[in-house]
Amino acid sequence: DAGVIQSPRHEVTEMGQEVTLRCKPISGHDYLFWYRQTMMRGLELLIYFNNNVPIDDSGMPEDRFSAKMPNASFSTLKIQPSEPRDSAVYFCASSRDRLMNTEAFFGQGTRLTVV
Amino acid sequence: KQEVTQIPAALSVPEGENLVLNCSFTDSAIYNLQWFRQDPGKGLTSLLLIQSSQREQTSGRLNASLDKSSGRSTLYIAASQPGDSATYLCAVRPTGGTSYGKLTFGQGTILTVHP
């Protein structure tokens, strides 16, 4: 398997624009996670899905953020409208069910810069 | 609320030294603990996963131990090499309920190994 695949790798956008980040988890993984990494706050969990259903979105900072998982092989994280403070690296990760090896695997991340 | 602390924040050693990275967590009700490596501008690479019932895991020159009752884990790196230079992160996963997916990360230890 190619691992967790994220796109784009880099995104530069102007304040107020809509940004969509994409993730393809490892095939067969039941859990998908979206994390944000900044120097100040480290890695923060934004939301996670189990079997395509959002389980906990308490980490989503504001209503400007939304995430979807329309099927087992694809998820999006959308920011609308974007603000400079949203600049960070956004990671997607996936893992298998808790009854199996639950090692989490991360994608390479999307570096978002909002100017 | 689970809090994960890593000590030291940064470590610089000459090549060949054995070293220990520390991770502590406040809530011992964990399902597992995972150590990751992150190279600059890259994603997270899983190094070792320790289930809550295990005491240690080994992979090559890496050995991770877990003392769940005291809320501590250590990552031991034997015969360090310049290629080991990276940020090392530990993360804990809680036992159940909707918190299961909340992999909580420490702030990381930045390791530099000098030739």
Closest by CA to B75, choosing from B15, B34, B32, B17, is B34
Question: CB–CB of A33 and B103 under 8 A?
Answer: yes
DSSP line for A10-77: EEEE-TT--EEEEEEPPTT--EEEEEEEETTTEEEEEEEEETTEEEE-TT--STTEEEEEEETTEEEE
Side-chain-side CA neighbours of residue A86 (13 Å): 29
pLDDT in tens, B12-69: 999 999 999 999 999 998 888 999 999 998 899 999 999 889 999 999 999 999 999 9
**What tokens does B45 get?**
């690479």
Evaluate whether A14 touches A79 at the Cβ level (below 8 Å). Answer: no
- What six digits make up the tokens of A33? 């996670």
pLDDT tens figures, A72-106: 999 999 999 999 999 999 999 998 876 555 788 99
Q: What is the dihedral of CA B26, B32, A2, A80, to 10 degrees?
A: -40
The yes-or-no verdict on residue B92 having pLDDT over 70 is yes
pLDDT at B97 exceeding the cut of 70:
no
Q: Is B79 helix (H, G, I), strand (E, B) or coil?
A: coil
- Report how far apart the first and last C-alpha atoms of chain A are (Å, whole number): 36
Q: Could you tell me if A101 lies within 8 Å of chain B, comparing CB atoms?
A: yes
CA B50/CA B64 separation, integer angstroms: 8
Q: Find which of B42, B44, B50, B98 to mutate to test the A interface (most A CBs within 10 Å of its CB).
A: B44
Give the minimum alpha-carbon distance from B47 to chain A in angstroms, rounded to a whole number: 10
A85: phi then psi, degrees, rounded to nearest 5? -70, -5
